[in-house]
């Protein structure tokens, strides 16, 4: 596999890919434990599927931005290594499925030829940084947040402080107070503000979805722009040190805030200030993230077959940019799936009549920019030929869904086929709802909310119901969630479960009641609040009755045989590595990285790698004594209890104090050199101790 390496110009990327290839080989040879290998591949965007022997590969697109050349590259990759389908995600990534593990290094190398990465698309890392897709052209934005999202992505990619956290960490940048990037459901969310001529952000902290959703708190009403990166770094350092590591169900950042309290978390973040690599971080404003408008060209001859559809499309999928004379066009992509052939056919249209930039939206759609008014009819006709001109973007008929049981280990009941059925019900029976952007429907295959059902006005997640000795595929129904404004959101309330085949009836009951009983101009959530949860429970209760089941109810959407729940082990955030030898090996590896960083004068990175080596070494020795720990801080405390206070190891004060020098000093060359030497000495002493213990046993 030497040929693809020589084509990679970035030495860091080449090192990443070579490392993945080497670890795959060691894993195949039985020399690398499965859990350790799983952690490594997840951080390289390679995720296990429901189907054995194949992988899902997640392609990381910072704030959903890609060029037409990158789209062609991804389409070609999907044809060569996958199934010819591109799946757009709610985090503005693209996923391809059914990929052979052994081919992932080669696949990654080919993507990198067009500056596309897999790094940290999965695993216990900083996930893709998302942003409002309209950023840069939004008529309501105070300023373009794209440079800030991009700087955040680049600063924390491969950053040692966030490579092996207890769980994943998600961030977003909204373009305006409308909060279309949903700051309230993120670990950190940023909303742009201008105060006395200075750019900055309202900062939301500690939100999250999953099985137990939580709304974010306000950390700052206004944080100057040059403090954004330092704040994120401080938060990540605290999450890394104090976050839960044993119980993954309690390991997200929102639980740390619940445990310690927001005030204490922010106090700890402030304590990290001295140790930060950057006390202030100025965003490079010289980079223009606005793409060049297309050159003027004659519009070819065309015919619009359906003028009614065209008029609906204009009203629902097209908007005026803040740049006068130009329009943004949303492409509604059902269930987020677009074929590689269709993607390639889209490219010439974009290159000729739009800017060379496409953005993936959080609703699994696409946004095109800088289309001139005179080109709109031709654009519609061309999109319609490709099946990409369906009206109703962001409407009731634009349902968000995850792949669910199609490919995911955690999926319980089908989410994709029912999405198609529900959209058909809306288009055929409630055509006026194509213009309703108030009600959002979202569906997940399980309770973990990859389809964002927890923040839907009408949400569903996959489940099951017992009926005698049989199991029925089911949907948990939720109501009343959604985005409010300026960092405020609502969590949907669970009502009841119904058999999956009754999902369309749930939709009809809710929409019929809303249309019949809403007040003039009343929005859906106001209507929901006015009537109350029990009203809707009673409304839908007949659909939960299992005494009238038919044979069809036992067959899930898109299937032919009776439903059989088959939930695997999810890989949403990596795994724990708990073998002593592996932990000591990891410590040695991190010290090598620390030495490299020191030589390259990346003193902050060197310090953090050395810190991670301290932690890995101590955890390994504690594991040898069967001492359980659930945070990095508890590792330091337990090591003092079991090794320092017993006289096995000695330090001037104690182990915790020695290691936590990390936040007491500037990351200078002098401190980095000294701290690294202390970590190296500690590992040497730990290895001597363990070898002696093995001999004595």
What is the residue whose two structure tokens read 């409010």? 484
Q: Does residue 497 have a pLDDT over 90?
A: yes
Confidence of residue 7 (pLDDT cuts 50, 70, 90): low
Which segment of 354-358, 518-522, 624-628 scores lowest on mean pLDDT?
A: 624-628
pLDDT of residue 578: 39
> What are the Cα distances from residue 117, in Å, to 4, 415, 558?
15, 28, 33
User: So what's the pLDDT on residue 2?
Assistant: 44
The pLDDT tens digits for 239-253 are 999 999 988 889 999
Residues 456 and 478: beta-carbon distance below 8 Å:
yes
Dump pLDDT digits (tens) for 314-329: 999 999 999 999 999 9
Question: Do residues 623 and 583 lie in contact, with contact meaning Cβ atoms separated by under 8 Å?
Answer: yes
Q: Which residues contact 413 (CB under 8 A, 6 or more apart)?
A: 404, 405, 445, 462, 463, 464, 473, 474, 475, 500, 556, 557, 563
Which strand (E) or helix (H) includes residue 330? strand 326-331
Q: State the average pLDDT over residues 260-289.
A: 94
Q: Give the pLDDT mean for 498-507.
A: 97
Which whole number is the average pLDDT over 346-350?
A: 98
Burial class (CB in 10 A: 0-12, 13-18, 19+), 519: exposed
Closest CA to 55 of 15, 103, 93, 106: 103
User: 201: helix, coil or strand?
Assistant: strand
More confident residue, 229 or 9: 229
Split at pLDDT 50, 70, 90, the class of 211 is confident
pLDDT at residue 399 tops 50: yes
Cα–Cα distance measured from residue 514 to residue 527, given in angstroms and rounded to the nearest whole number? 8
d(CA 2, CA 125): 29
Q: What is the pLDDT of residue 311?
A: 98
- Residue 624, pLDDT > 60, answer yes
- Residue among 127, 100, 112 nearest 17 (CA): 112
Q: Are 378 and 302 in contact (CB under 8 A)?
A: yes
Q: What is the pLDDT of residue 404?
A: 86
Q: Is the pLDDT of residue 583 over 90?
A: no
Task: State the pLDDT at residue 576.
Answer: 35
pLDDT digits (tens, 9 = 90+) for 520-555: 999 999 999 999 999 999 999 999 999 999 999 999
pLDDT in tens, 98-118: 999 999 999 999 999 999 999
Mean local confidence (pLDDT), 413-417: 93
Interval 478-488 mean pLDDT: 97
Q: Report all structural domains of the chain as residue ranges with CATH numbers, in order of start.
A: 5-112 (3.90.480.20), 138-275 (3.30.413.10), 307-385 (3.30.70.3340), 400-554 (3.30.413.10), 580-696 (1.20.120.330)
Q: What is the pLDDT of residue 570?
A: 52
Beta partners for residue 330, in sequence order: 367
Burial grade of 295 (CB within 10 A; 0-12, 13-18, 19 or more): exposed
3-state secondary structure of 107: helix
Residue found by looking up tokens 């600063």 in the block: 155
Paired with 470 in beta bridges are 467
Can you give the pLDDT at residue 603?
97
pLDDT for 128 equals 97
The pLDDT of 112-129, averaged and rounded, is: 95
Q: What is the average per-residue pLDDT within 598-610?
A: 96
Give CB contacts under 8 A, 24+ apart, made by 591-599.
Answer: 591/676, 591/679, 591/680, 591/683, 593/160, 594/672, 594/676, 594/679, 595/676, 597/160, 598/669, 598/672, 598/673, 598/676
What average pLDDT does this structure show over 376-400?
97
Residue 693 pLDDT class (50, 70, 90 cuts): confident
| Mean pLDDT on 262-275 | 97
* Residue 476: pLDDT over 60: yes
Confidence of residue 579 (pLDDT cuts 50, 70, 90): low
Q: What is the pLDDT of residue 567?
A: 54
Q: How far apart are CA 45 and CA 531, in angstroms?
A: 45
What angle in degrees, to the nearest 10, is found between the helix axes of 307-317 and 376-385? 110
Confidence of residue 203 (pLDDT cuts 50, 70, 90): very high
Q: What percent of the chain has pLDDT over 70?
A: 97
Query: pLDDT tier at 408 (50, 70, 90 boundaries)?
Result: confident
Please state, in angstroms and rounded to a whole number, the distance separating the CA atoms of residues 456 and 478: 8
More confident call, 188 vs 562: 188
CA angle 20, 22, 26 (to 5 degrees): 115
Nearest one of 134, 47, 62, 42 to 99, comparing CA atoms: 47
Q: Please state, as a whole number, how many other Cβ atoms lie within 10 Å of the Cβ of residue 485.
A: 12
Residue written as token pair 């403090």? 227
Question: For 150-165, what is each residue's pLDDT tens digit?
Answer: 999 999 999 999 999 9
What's the CA gap between 597 and 546, in Å, rounded? 63
pTM of the model: 0.93
Q: What is the pLDDT of residue 575?
A: 37
* Position 1 confidence tier, pLDDT thresholds 50, 70, 90: very low
Q: Give dist(CA 96, CA 78) in Å, integer.
A: 6
Q: Tell which residue, 498, 494, 521, 493, has the closest CA to residue 508.
A: 498
Q: Which residues contact 638 (CB under 8 A, 6 or more apart)?
A: 622, 627, 629
Contact 2, 106 (CB under 8 A): no
Confidence class for position 573, pLDDT limits 50, 70, 90: very low
Tokens representing 266 are: 């922010």
Give the model's confidence band at 566: pLDDT under 50 very low, under 70 low, under 90 confident, else very high. Answer: low
Tokens, residue 556:
């899930």
**Residue 571: what pLDDT?**
54
Higher pLDDT, 558 or 694: 558
Rg (C-alpha) for the chain, rounded Å, is: 26
Return mean pLDDT, the chain: 93
What ranges make up the beta strands (E) of 169-325? 171-173, 188-195, 198-205, 217-224, 318-320
Q: What is the pLDDT of residues 333-347, one digit of tens each?
A: 999 999 999 999 999
* DSSP codes, 218-236: EEEEEEEGGGHHHHHHHHH
């Amino acid at each position: 596999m030497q040929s693809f390496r020589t084509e990679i110009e970035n030495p860091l990327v080449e090192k990443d890919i070579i490392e993945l290839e080497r670890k795959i080989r060691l894993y195949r040879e039985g020399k690398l434990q499965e859990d350790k290998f799983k952690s490594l591949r997840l951080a390289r965007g390679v995720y296990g599927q429901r189907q054995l022997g194949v992988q899902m590969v997640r392609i990381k697109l910072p704030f959903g931005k890609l060029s037409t050349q990158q789209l062609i590259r991804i389409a070609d990759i999907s044809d060569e290594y996958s199934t010819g389908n591109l799946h757009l995600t709610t985090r503005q990534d693209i996923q391809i499925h059914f990929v052979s593990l052994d081919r992932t290094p080669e696949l990654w190398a080919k993507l990198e030829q067009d500056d596309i990465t897999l790094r940290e698309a999965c695993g216990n890392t900083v996930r893709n940084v998302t942003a409002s897709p309209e950023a840069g052209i939004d008529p309501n934005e105070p300023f373009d947040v794209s440079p800030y999202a991009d700087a955040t992505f680049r600063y924390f990619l491969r950053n040692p402080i966030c490579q092996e956290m207890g769980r994943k960490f998600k961030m977003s940048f909204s373009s305006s107070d409308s909060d279309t990037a949903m700051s309230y459901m993120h670990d950190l969310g940023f909303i742009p503000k201008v105060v006395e001529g200075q750019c900055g952000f309202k900062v939301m902290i500690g939100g999250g979805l999953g099985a137990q959703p939580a709304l974010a708190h306000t950390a700052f009403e206004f944080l100057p722009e040059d403090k954004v990166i330092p704040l994120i770094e401080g938060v990540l350092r605290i999450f890394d040190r104090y976050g839960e590591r044993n119980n993954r169900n309690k390991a997200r950042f929102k639980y740390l805030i619940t445990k310690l309290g927001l005030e204490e978390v922010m106090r700890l973040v402030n304590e990290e200030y001295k140790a930060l690599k950057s006390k202030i971080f100025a965003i490079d404003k010289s980079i223009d993230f606005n793409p060049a408008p297309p050159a003027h060209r004659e519009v070819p001859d065309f015919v619009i077959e359906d003028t009614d559809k065209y008029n609906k499309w204009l009203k629902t999928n097209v908007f005026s940019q803040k740049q006068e004379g130009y329009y943004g066009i949303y492409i509604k992509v059902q269930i987020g799936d677009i074929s590689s052939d269709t993607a390639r056919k889209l490219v010439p249209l974009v290159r000729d009549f739009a800017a060379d930039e496409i953005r993936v939206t959080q609703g699994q759609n696409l946004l095109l920019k800088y289309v001139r008014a005179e080109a709109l009819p031709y654009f519609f006709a061309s999109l319609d030929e490709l099946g990409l001109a369906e009206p109703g973007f962001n409407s009731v008929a634009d349902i968000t869904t995850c792949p669910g049981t199609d490919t995911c280990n955690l999926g319980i009941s089908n989410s994709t086929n029912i999405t198609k059925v529900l959209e058909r019900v809306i288009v055929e029976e409630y055509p006026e709802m194509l213009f309703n952007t108030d009600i959002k429907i979202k569906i997940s295959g399980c309770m973990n909310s990859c389809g964002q059902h927890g923040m839907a006005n009408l949400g569903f997640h996959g489940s099951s119901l017992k009926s005698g000795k049989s199991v029925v595929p089911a949907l948990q129904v939720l109501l009343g969630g959604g985005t409010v404004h300026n960092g405020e959101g609502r969590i949907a309330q669970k009502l009841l479960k119904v058999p999956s085949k009754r999902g369309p009836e749930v939709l009809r009951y809710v929409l019929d009641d809303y249309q019949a009983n809403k007040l003039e101009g009343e929005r859906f959530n106001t209507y929901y609040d006015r009537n109350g949860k029990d009203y809707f429970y009673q409304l839908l209760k007949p659909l939960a009755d299992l005494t009238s089941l038919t044979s069809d109810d036992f067959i899930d959407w898109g299937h032919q045989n009776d439903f059989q729940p088959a939930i695997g082990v999810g890989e949403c955030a990596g795994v724990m590595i708990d073998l002593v030898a592996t932990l000591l090996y990891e410590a040695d590896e991190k010290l090598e990285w620390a030495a490299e960083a020191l030589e390259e004068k990346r003193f902050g990175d060197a310090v953090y790698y050395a810190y991670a080596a301290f932690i890995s070494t101590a955890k390994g020795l504690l594991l040898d004594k069967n001492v359980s720990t659930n945070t990095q801080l508890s590792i330091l405390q337990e090591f003092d209890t079991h090794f320092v206070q017993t006289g096995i190891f000695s330090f001037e004060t104690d182990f915790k104090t020695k290691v936590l020098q990390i936040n007491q000093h500037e990351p200078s060359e002098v401190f980095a050199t000294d701290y690294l030497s202390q970590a190296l000495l500690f590992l040497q002493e730990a290895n001597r101790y363990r070898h002696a213990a093995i001999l004595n046993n």
